[in-house]
Amino acid sequence: MDNQPQPLRLGLIGFGCVGQGFYDILQQQPGLGLAVTRIAVKSPDKPRTLPADHFTYHADELLNDPTLDVLVEVIDDAAEAFRLVSAALRQGRRVVTANKAMLARHLPELVQLEQNFGGALLYEAAVCGSIPVIRTLDGYFSHEPLRAVQGILNGSSNYVLTRMSEEGSDYAAALAEAQALGFAETDPALDMGAFDPRSKAVILAAHAYGVFLEADEVLNLGIEAVGAADVAYAAARGQKVKVVASVQRLPNGRVAALVTPQMLGPESPLFIVEHEFNGVVVEGEYAGPQFLGGRGAGGHPTGSAVLADVLALRRGLRYGYAKQATAPALQAAEELELDVYLRHPDVGVLREVLTWLELPATALRTDVHGVYATGPVPLLRLRQWRDELRTAGVFVARRGEVQAVEAVAEGQLAASTLA
């Protein structure tokens, strides 16, 4: 008599880069006891590596199939992903998703559905590909206070910045190379504008601090206007330009979150994170800084994170959100400031930007590449003028940590720097 347990039956929604990567991994490991028994895709005309009879073109058929043990959602449509995942959770289903934009927009509601209907939702693949950062925060650091979680969370923009640093090339050439290699999308706006890492920062904040953020409240500045002069400015100081997402506890106990280009020196573990790789530094109150690095994107690396979640669901794992009950307040933007670097090839535009950000004309500097500016800017101002800065083609990078500005008795302003 055969006492082997029946394979876990999986319904796969999406068969793009991640879906196919996950499927390939399963084919190479038949002993895992997992079987993709149904696959739903959107378009019947798109060429695929499997025969057409392997697919259905109606994802709701998988929702309505009670024989499926786990639903795996790996599509790039955030609205449709939310519809499918929320419906599955209302059925009390076990679900794995990799859709960071959907999670950033709807995480509180999804957690509530999970609790109300008894389902389970895991999403390690939504942040940093193969790096197990969510599981680390939710499990290992579930009860340790964290000083900060900071990381390079987008491989596309990191690849562009690496190539600019290595070759001295301009942004357009480095971006074209990234697109040719498949590291950047044909429309790179989500990656280069730092919208993608902003979504990931929102997800990390929920596990690091129990804080559920609105994505639009998180400042995101991208690298669309970065130039060779900016990379050279950093290099002359022994630094590199990196897009860094930060969720950090300030001295007053509140939390600040932002995603911006930052000038980093070799003292930072993120300094060595190059090309399409991601890296995260988790700084615990007692454990100190811990660095996690690895491939942040790609079919097989991200597919491996999907697989880890499926196997975790089989073991009964659920996220604990242990810090939700004691979540700190989000620091008001008007109480924070950044030490920033600004550059634009037109000095007239740069002077106008100084008025937007309330920087004096004395903030202007000159080097061999032209005129730039530096100085402290309130985070609120950067958020208010974010779209105008992007439209005007101004490159903005921070040169240090977030500072909390506190009023003192004389009515002056004093900045206390994050430890």
Which residues does the annotation mark as catalytic? 200
Contacts of 233 (CB under 8 A, 6+ apart): 341, 343, 367, 369, 372
Q: How far apart (Å, rounded) are the C-alpha atoms in residues 195 and 212?
A: 17
Structure-token pair, residue 401: 């940590």
Q: Residue 87: in which H helix or E strand, if any?
A: helix 78-90
Q: Residue 194: in which H helix or E strand, if any?
A: none
Contacts of 329 (CB under 8 A, 6+ apart): 254, 255
Q: How far apart (Å, rounded) are the C-alpha atoms in residues 26 and 31?
A: 9
Spatial CA neighbour of 10 closest among 311, 347, 318, 415:
311
| Per-residue H/E/C for 119-183 | CEEECHHHCCCCCCHHHHHHHHCCCCCEEEEEEECCHHHHHHHHHHHHHCCCHHHHHHHHHHCCC
DSSP 3-state percent helix, strand, coil across the chain (nearest 5): 40, 25, 35
